[in-house]
Homo-oligomer: A and B are copies of this chain.
């Protein structure tokens, strides 16, 4: 294994380039490039020699030149407000399940619900020449809209199916879902239902609106406990005590997500409050745990993973040149009564 080529790659301690491989074989890098994309384009004797050289040097492809010349990276950017929320973990899973088999790479970013950070993250993702973007939330700054317009890549907004999308949105109607669950609880004779809200983002606001409208439509008085911090089991317990203090005859609790609901439910168990006899409790999203626990949690089942999957599928379709097939894809939710109502 002689390495008598002029620019010995081992000396530079740099990963070998096509040129290094070509030098070793005694051909042009173009020939090696051809072999990599379509081995039959190269004569049979060269095929084995090139294959050996690639193996010998441990050649690793380099996408940088291609990204530079074509402005296409074969990567898609995924920008979410948070990774703490289990919902987004499931969305990511759905996205990856489509993106990875299609040979695309996922670039992940999050911005902690800050519009300023969102701008910065989008700029960063675009600076890597991502071929497309999946983003969350429906409101975006003018700067973000301009960047996306200038970048000229397909963008899909997820989570919300109501706000007019930049190009295409895939999500659920949060307001309608919250209305439906509230109405369902009212029909089961609950009259003093309190809403627990955390992380006051756009979707939470929609849900609160749905809850309040349903209450008012039925001549009932809404009461909403709010905090801007993230939801958690313990927050659910705290809210329960707050609710009972503010409204001792509370007979129903509807939470902006399952975490709060489960926390509230456990707090009831500890306090000797019977669920659902004394108080009904409902969550939102239908995470695995809510579908397995005792008692089964009443919840609004949302298609988180499917949302990610669909978003990825539509994005890939558009990367193949297809037009936007449907501006808004409104996914169905399902009211699950469980055993806690």
Q: A100-B109, A105-B107 are in contact. Are A62 and B129 (CB under 8 A)?
A: yes
Q: A96-B108, A107-B107 are in contact. Are A64 and B67 (CB under 8 A)?
A: yes
Which residues of chain B have C-beta atoms less than 8 A from A149's C-beta? 58
Q: Which of A42-50, A131-139, A263-271, A323-331 contacts B (4 or more CB under 8 A)?
A: A263-271
Which residues of chain B have C-beta atoms less than 8 A from A5's C-beta? none
A123 touches B83 (CB 8 A): no
The one of B84, B86, B288 in contact with A233, judged by C-beta atoms closer than 8 angstroms, is B288
- Docked CA distance A127–B18 (Å): 13
A75 touches B107 (CB 8 A): yes
Which residues of chain B have C-beta atoms less than 8 A from A60's C-beta? 123, 126-127, 147, 150-151
B63 touches A128 (CB 8 A): yes
- Docked CA distance A83–B86 (Å): 12
Q: Does A32 contact B (CB under 8 A)?
A: no
Interface size on A, residues (CB 8 A): 60
Of all chain B residues, the one with the shortest Cβ separation from A111 is B100
A13 touches B152 (CB 8 A): yes
- Docked CA distance A84–B89 (Å): 8
Q: Distance in Å from the Cβ of A9 to the closest Cβ of chain B?
A: 10
Q: Distance in Å from the Cβ of A288 to the closest Cβ of chain B?
A: 6
Which residues of chain B have C-beta atoms less than 8 A from A146's C-beta? 58
Q: Does A1 contact B (CB under 8 A)?
A: no
B96 touches A92 (CB 8 A): no
- Docked CA distance A106–B77 (Å): 10
Q: Which of A217-225, A241-249, A289-297 contacts B (4 or more CB under 8 A)?
A: A289-297
Chain A 152-168 interface mask (CB, 8 Å, partner B; 1/0):
10000000000000000
Which residues of chain B have C-beta atoms less than 8 A from A16's C-beta? 150
Which residues of chain B have C-beta atoms less than 8 A from A187's C-beta? none
Q: Does A71 contact B (CB under 8 A)?
A: yes
Q: Does A65 contact B (CB under 8 A)?
A: yes
Q: Does A232 contact B (CB under 8 A)?
A: yes
- Docked CA distance A263–B294 (Å): 10
A109 touches B110 (CB 8 A): no
- Which residues 284-306 of A have a CB within 8 angstroms of B? 288-289, 291-294
Which residues of chain B have C-beta atoms less than 8 A from A105's C-beta? 107, 109, 124-125, 128
- Docked CA distance A283–B64 (Å): 45
- Which residues 239-267 of A have a CB within 8 angstroms of B? 259, 262-263, 266
Q: Does A33 contact B (CB under 8 A)?
A: no
- Which residues 209-234 of A have a CB within 8 angstroms of B? 232-234
26 A-B interface contacts by CB (under 8 A): A14-B71, A15-B151, A57-B150, A58-B150, A62-B127, A64-B67, A64-B71, A64-B73, A65-B68, A67-B67, A73-B128, A75-B107, A83-B89, A86-B89, A96-B108, A100-B110, A105-B128, A106-B107, A107-B108, A108-B108, A233-B288, A259-B288, A262-B289, A266-B292, A269-B294, A293-B293
10 A-B pairs closest in CB distance: A233-B292, A58-B150, A89-B89, A64-B68, A61-B127, A83-B93, A64-B67, A63-B127, A108-B108, A269-B294
Apart from the given pairs A62-B129, A75-B128, A233-B292, 4 other A-B contacts in the complex at a CB distance below 8 Å: A58-B147, A64-B67, A106-B108, A269-B294
